Structure 1
Amino acid sequence: MKVVLLAGGFGTRLSEETHARPKPMIEVGGLPLLLHIMKMYSHHGFNDFIVCLGYMGYYIKEYFSNYLLHRSDVAIDFTTGSTRHFNTVVEPWRVSLVDTGLNTMTGGRLRRVKELIGNETFMMTYGDGVSDVDIGELAAFHRSHKRAATITAVQPPGRFGALELGSDGQITAFREKPADEAGWINGGFFVLEPSVFDLLEGDETVWERGPLEKLAERGDLAAYRHPGFWQPVDTLREKNLLEALWASGAPWKKW
């Protein structure tokens, strides 16, 4: 099953980092965020990736074209001109890097890689968030309900502590950063049938609006509930949060 990674957005809310690199290449623990996501999938046996590029796509192309150099130690003998790589990291991956346009919307990016996917069930996610979701179990759930699309539903992490107040205004308890009580939201990590391409009209198609709404209206969209860890990276605060979690034992690191 192929995995499509959306990695073409501008990442304007994280301009402190994205002025110099695309958001999926922001590093956490010394590794690009995109690599963390790919390793999540690979841990569950999914190793065929299609990366949809846009803003600063050449940065991602350079990284994977020189993956051996980026992920190995190097010995250079200037007298002979020879180069030797050691302590090499080898991945069982196939990676297709596709320029899907600078201003293309999420659904449009997916539409542009249709020919690479073919007539097969496939996965898709965003290139800016990590989770400890069981990808294998997600795939099995999708196969069991036989709908066109499965979305991973998550409860966003709480940002602020919550106060429990008595009738007289007295604080009776304090709950530290509860999960967002507004309900379940789109956490990405989709499993999709090729029939969804019929809902993608052009570069201007926003996957999260028309296509998902139509799938829901016709009862062709299922939710896989994931109550565990999930964290997007939209701000510098969230990037720093992942760095702190990485240092203390990253909950999404199963590889």
Structure 2
Amino acid sequence: MKVVILAGGLGTRLSEETALRPKPMVDIGDKPILWHIMKIYAAQGFNEFVICLGYKGYIIKEYFANYFLHQSNVTIDLTTNTIETLQSQAEPWKITLVDTGKESMTGGRIKRVAPFIGNEPFLLTYGDGVSNVDVTKLLAHHKESKKMVTVTAVQPTGRFGALNLTEKDAVFSFLEKPKGDGAWINGGFFVCEPEVFNYIDGDATIWEREPMEKIAAEGQMSAYKHDGFWKPMDTLRDKQELESDWNAGKAAWKIW
């Protein structure tokens, strides 16, 4: 089963990092967050990817075009202009990189990669969020539900510490990162049947609007509740928190 990754947006809320590169290429540790996302899937047996390019997509192309060389020990003979690979740590991935337009919305990007998916179900996610979601269980839930789309539902952590007070304003408990207001939200990590392409009109279509709203209204959407780790990289603060976890060896999404 192929994994489609949306990697073409501008990432304006992370402009400190995205002025020179696309958001999925912002590093967590010494690897782009896109690499981390792909490792999450690969660790669970999904090694074929279709990446939807847009803003500065050539940077993603160049990264993977040179990936094998950068991950290998080589001997370069300048007299014969040959390169001998001695040992490689490259991933066993097959990656299709598709230019889906600089201005296309999420739905438009999905529609544009339809020829590379074929008439089969596919996995879909965003190029800026990591999780320890069990993709095998997600896929099993999707098959059991017999719906057109399954979305992973998550409960995001609140950004501010929560105080529990007595009637006299004494604090009897404090939680640094509470679970928000308890609402379930779209965490990405979808499973889609190929019929979803029929719900997307063109480049201007936003996947999370008309297509998802209509599919849900028709009773063709299921939610897979994930109560484990999930975090998007929306802001510089998010990026710093993810990198801090990675450098400290506490990256909950590192399941490989």
Q: Deviations over 1:3-23 (max 9, x none)?
A: 100000000111111011100
Mapping of 1:165-180 within 5 angstroms? Answer: 165-180=165-180
Give the structure 2 partner of residue 206 of structure 1: 206
1:154 aligns with 2:149: no
Mapping of 1:23-34 within 5 angstroms? Answer: 23-34=23-34
Give the structure 1 partner of residue 110 of structure 2: 110
Give the structure 2 partner of residue 56 of structure 1: 56
Greater shift in the superposed pair: 69-78 or 14-23:
69-78
CA separation in 2, counterparts of 1:45 and 1:56?
Answer: 29
RMSD: 1.3
State, as a whole percentage, how many aligned pairs show the same letter.
Answer: 58
SS in 1 for 2:120: coil
1:47 aligns with 2:13: no
Give the structure 2 partner of residue 244 of structure 1: 244
Give the structure 2 partner of residue 8 of structure 1: 8
CA separation in 2, counterparts of 1:91 and 1:4?
Answer: 17
Give the structure 2 partner of residue 253 of structure 1: 254
Give the structure 2 partner of residue 125 of structure 1: 125
Q: Deviations over 1:201-224 (max 9, x none)?
A: 010100001111111111110000
Give the structure 2 partner of residue 186 of structure 1: 186
Q: Deviations over 1:64-86 (max 9, x none)?
A: 11111232344434455443444
1:73/1:88 contact within 8 Å kept: yes
Q: Number of aligned pairs?
A: 255
In structure 2, runs of 5+ residues without a counterpart are none
Following TM superposition, by how much is the alpha carbon of 1:173 offset from its aligned partner in structure 2, in angstroms?
A: 1.5
2:67/2:90 contact within 8 Å kept: no
Task: Give the TM-score taking structure 2 as reference length.
Answer: 0.96
1:63/1:70 contact within 8 Å kept: no
Give the structure 1 partner of residue 217 of structure 2: 217
Give the structure 1 partner of residue 197 of structure 2: 197
1:52/1:110 contact within 8 Å kept: yes
1:36 aligns with 2:36: yes
CA separation in 2, counterparts of 1:174 and 1:58?
Answer: 47
Give the structure 2 partner of residue 230 of structure 1: 230
| AA matched with 1:254 | I
CA separation in 1, counterparts of 2:86 and 2:162?
Answer: 51
Give the structure 1 partner of residue 71 of structure 2: 71
In structure 1, runs of 5+ residues without a counterpart are none
Give the structure 1 partner of residue 141 of structure 2: 141
C-alpha spacing 1:79/1:237, structure 2 compared with 1 (3 Å): same
C-alpha spacing 1:204/1:166, structure 2 compared with 1 (3 Å): same
Following TM superposition, by how much is the alpha carbon of 1:138 offset from its aligned partner in structure 2, in angstroms?
A: 0.5
Following TM superposition, by how much is the alpha carbon of 1:158 offset from its aligned partner in structure 2, in angstroms?
A: 2.1
SS in 2 for 1:201: coil
CA separation in 2, counterparts of 1:105 and 1:182?
Answer: 29
SS in 1 for 2:58: helix
